[in-house]
Amino acid sequence: MRTDFEFLALERVDDHVLVVTYDRPEVANAKNTKMGEEQREVFESLYVDQEDVRCVILTGRGKHFSAGADLKERNGMTDAQWQRQHAIYEQGAVSLKACPVPIIAAVNGAAYGGGCETALGCDFIYASTKARFALTEITLGIIPGTMGTQHLTHAAGDRRAKEIIMTGLPFSAEEGYEWGIVNRVCEPDDLLEVALQTAQRISSNAPLAVMRAKRSVTVARHTDTQTGYLYELEAYNRLVTTQDRREGVLAFNEKRKPNFKGK
């Protein structure tokens, strides 16, 4: 995976954790077309080859997570240009969703519009006390278009999702926590460290098991229990034959930390 992006900063931590930072702080990390292309590339790359990345933290530079699509860039676009750009954002959302390794959104400030949708598309959200969330698309004559209506409904229920989407009003990190949207609320100075601790905990576990657990939970949300259980059993039995399964049991009996290889 290349790291020389214009609007994303990538940093490997402890070999197995990748921190991806939106890097347009002068415009509240609003997503222009190039940033959308870069986000798509990063997560498509991780789908193809994880390069021993076992957990991703997604955050924003400066005071904001992301203000969503760059409306200054969109000003004056033809319908065709708008739809072409949105197709890039759609592909970015799909690649984020399909990423096999866990993704933690560390929301440090405003996550509005497409920025909120991106946070919702991650596996879970840690938020600063200064974070604010909103799906503001309705105020522009559109609706969320990168899975926002889907993910918010699954997280908070249809009644809460309708209220948030139809009003376009922002809500706080504490409200997001109360409504089941945010997993943890942190002090601003602690946010990245807390997210990193969780990422390191995840990355210390067997990566094949983590990826299959992630997918099994995702399947459970979209199907009936019996079908979901069949998928779970298939994933379970594939893990029985792995080196990591044998290493995990051996390490337990030898009273040492396991050395998982993803094999």
Domain residue extents for the chain = 8-203, 207-253
Q: With a cut of 90, say whether residue 1 has pLDDT above it.
A: no
Q: With a cut of 90, say whether residue 41 has pLDDT above it.
A: yes
Q: With a cut of 90, say whether residue 36 has pLDDT above it.
A: yes
pLDDT at 87: 97
Q: With a cut of 90, say whether residue 222 has pLDDT above it.
A: no
218 by Cβ neighbours in 10 Å (0-12 / 13-18 / 19+) ranks as: middle
153 by Cβ neighbours in 10 Å (0-12 / 13-18 / 19+) ranks as: middle
| 215 Cβ neighbours under 8 A, 6+ residues apart | 100, 231, 235
- CATH architecture of residue range(s) 207-253: Orthogonal Bundle (1.10)
Q: Report the alpha-carbon distance of residue 74 to residue 86 in Å, rounded.
A: 10
CATH 3.90.226.10 corresponds to the domain 8-203? yes
The residues annotated with a catalytic role in the active site are: 69, 114, 117, 137
Give the CA-trace dihedral at 146, 148, 150, 152, to 10 degrees. Answer: 160
Please write the tens of the pLDDT for every residue from 119-158.
999 999 999 999 999 999 999 999 999 999 999 999 999 9
Q: Report the alpha-carbon distance of residue 126 to residue 149 in Å, rounded.
A: 20
Please write the tens of the pLDDT for every residue from 227-256.
999 999 999 999 999 999 999 999 999 999
Please write the tens of the pLDDT for every residue from 164-212.
999 999 999 999 999 999 999 999 999 999 999 999 999 999 999 999 9
Please write the tens of the pLDDT for every residue from 65-104.
999 999 999 999 999 999 999 999 999 999 999 999 999 9
Residue type, 130: K
